[in-house]
Amino acid sequence: MTQHNTDQNPEPVIDANWRDDALDLVQGYADATIGVRAGYHRTDEGEHSEAMFTTSSFVYQSAADAAAHFDGSKKGNLYARFTNPTVRAFERRLAALEQGERAVATATGMGVILVMCLAYLKAGDHLLAAKQLFGSSITLFNNYLTQYGIEVSYADISDLAAWQAEIRPNTKLLYVESPSNPLAQIADIPALASLAHQNDALLVVDSCFATPILQKPLTLGADIVIHSATKYIDGQGRVLGGALVGSHELLEAAFNVVRTAGVSLSPFNAWVLLKGLETLGLRMRAHCHNANRVATFLSQHPKVERVHFSGLSDHPNHELAKHQHDQTGADEMGNFGAIVGFEVAGGKAAAWHVIDSTRMISITNNLGDAKSTITHPATTTHFRMTPEARAAGGIRDGLIRLSVGLEDADDIISDLKRGLDSL
């Protein structure tokens, strides 16, 4: 029978299946190895591929054993809304890649942003975010957080003075996407981290466009990094998922929100995301190579007015991106992600013409897929924003967002050329 530890603040007994990691990270393994092997312990069945635990609940050895799990004197699985072995393996592997202490997974990318808000903000607090954000994030902040007494304001992603000017005594959280959606702008993460910490606030960085292969915000000073795992971590447009990564202390608050609110990642989706992490490094470098070629083509086309891609040498954030992004394994142009925004003259009609002229690229609002995707942000991902808010965020009617996939780069270019040449 399980005996409860009566010492003050005792260390909990740990279930045999709750070991830290199958891979000894002290050995200093590279990301490629961590992405393939970290975070999972084989069961007694001896499986080579990670097992999928499709169970809603877990069985205890006795009533006392159940009580010990619930009162915290024993650590292990309680209920799948709280924990699941497959989900835990994904969390541990992602945390290892990000060089964080802990990760907490969620059902979707927007779910993780909601968890961030619930865990780290309360009535009377102030959230300071970049103007250049995914449209649904702005809707969440403006339409819902403000209903509960949370103040929200915005600053240009690249204007540190604007961030400083917007800081208030009640500012608790700075939030930025880097690279941003859909313009792929780059935030100075160390500078924003310093500003946040000088004002007793947290810096949260959405790094889903870069992934831990290209950028590790925690090593640059951020307190928390978040991901829409739906994007590059899956990489093939199969499932939804999200995650936060940071310290044990900060992530405990996020975990308590997830276990209470139920925005939990399913074991099936966690298993798919585990498989995605295995090939993430290979895919991201291939994505970057293709994006470099496509962005160069677009920058030279006479019907393209502007290209938003930090890999171009004339981009205002080029040097910053080169500094913050890991260039290991890059081609001659470097690793700058694979989201390319470009603007054409003629507004919405011209942008729609280019999109509708494609024959291979998928017209869809998803991104980070092996398949290239294309969309018109002003009428899709950012349509719920006011015209004024879209203008402030650089979402013009002639803007097209391209997520460069893993097809042959020449085929992607030919598909875009068809519409551009006929404008």
| Predicted confidence (pLDDT) per residue in 366-378, tens digit | 999 999 999 999 9
Average pLDDT over residues 26-34: 94
Contact, 319 vs 186, CB < 8 A? no
pLDDT grade for 391, boundaries at 50, 70 and 90: confident
Over its C-alpha atoms, the chain yields an Rg (Å, rounded) of 22
Contact, 312 vs 337, CB < 8 A? no
b vs e for 89-100, b when ≥16 Cβ sit within 10 Å of the residue's Cβ? bbbbbbbbbbbb
pLDDT grade for 384, boundaries at 50, 70 and 90: confident
Which comes out higher in pLDDT, residue 106 or 78? Answer: 106
* Dist CA 388 CA 393 (whole Å): 9
Strand bridging mode 102-106 / 242-246: antiparallel
Please report the pLDDT score of residue 15 as a whole number: 83
Diameter of the chain measured on Cα atoms: 77
Contact, 208 vs 227, CB < 8 A? yes
Average pLDDT over residues 60-66: 95
Please report the pLDDT score of residue 1 as a whole number: 31
Average pLDDT over residues 275-296: 98
pTM for the complete prediction? 0.94
Computed over every residue of the chain, the mean pLDDT equals 94
Which comes out higher in pLDDT, residue 348 or 381? Answer: 348
* Dist CA 171 CA 151 (whole Å): 9
Q: Percent of the chain having pLDDT more than 70?
A: 97
**CA 328 → CA 31, 32, 331, 407, distances in Å?**
11, 12, 9, 22
Please report the pLDDT score of residue 2 as a whole number: 35
Reduced to 3 states (helix: H, G, I; strand: E, B; else coil), residue 205 is strand
Average pLDDT over residues 58-64: 95
Phi, then psi, of 109 in degrees rounded to 5? -70, -45
Q: Which domains does the chain have, with CATH numbers?
A: 85-277 (3.40.640.10), 278-421 (3.90.1150.10)
Contact, 411 vs 360, CB < 8 A? yes
Please report the pLDDT score of residue 8 as a whole number: 53
Number of Cβ atoms within 10 Å of the Cβ of 250? 21
Whether pLDDT at 337 is above 80: yes
pLDDT grade for 412, boundaries at 50, 70 and 90: very high
Residue 46 CA neighbour count, 13 Å, CB half: 0
Whether pLDDT at 253 is above 90: yes
**CA 83 → CA 79, 103, 127, distances in Å?**
6, 12, 29
